[in-house]
Amino acid sequence: MADRRSLAAELAASWFGSDLPPHARTAFLELAVEREVGAGTEMVREGQPTTGFGLVLSGRVALRLHVPGRGQVTILTVEPGDIYGWSAIVPPYRSTSTGVAVEPVRALVVDAVALRAALRADDALAASLYPRVLEAVARRLDGTRLQLLDLFAGQVEASW
């Protein structure tokens, strides 16, 4: 486990934390705990309440969806510096996918209830954190759009 100074440096060096102002990084770190999990550990479960918002420091987290007839399908792998469990701060606070560590993972994890309370109480934190979360979601939507374009690349265009 790293000390707080090392965790602060890792947060500041991450994609997610690099553009957060010092106040927001400090507030985030005050709420966060360092968590280490082994490969195969389920970190969030699709459709269940999201209990933690996490920033991957090392390792990778596969985000999987249950697809009828196909089972669990990995749609994205979260790499170091990116977040998982963003639905912890977006109503109805239920995970949109299952997150599974595909290798040992070290993460900063913030309790969902505590984070929501901090965001309600601290406008500066909310104004800093929400845009970063939105950017992460937008990056994932863009990636999904590109996957769909690849998936349907061979389709004949409809005449309608």
Checking if the pLDDT of 63 tops 90, the result is yes
Least confident window among 12-26, 86-100, 136-150: 136-150
Checking if the pLDDT of 26 tops 90, the result is yes
Least confident window among 10-14, 104-108, 117-121, 155-159: 155-159
What CATH number is given for 4-150 in this structure?
2.60.120.10
Note the pLDDT of residue 124: 97
Confidence of residue 140 (pLDDT cuts 50, 70, 90): confident
Mean local confidence (pLDDT), 58-65: 95
H/E run at residue 26 = helix 22-31
3-state SS class at 96: coil
Mean local confidence (pLDDT), 46-59: 98
Task: List the chain domain ranges.
Answer: 4-150
Note the pLDDT of residue 103: 98
* Cα-based distances in Å from 78 to 35, 124, 137, 154: 16, 27, 12, 28
Mean local confidence (pLDDT), 24-53: 98
Checking if the pLDDT of 120 tops 80, the result is yes
With a CB cutoff of 8 Å and minimum separation 6, the contacts of 10 are: 2, 17, 57, 108
pTM score over 0.85: yes
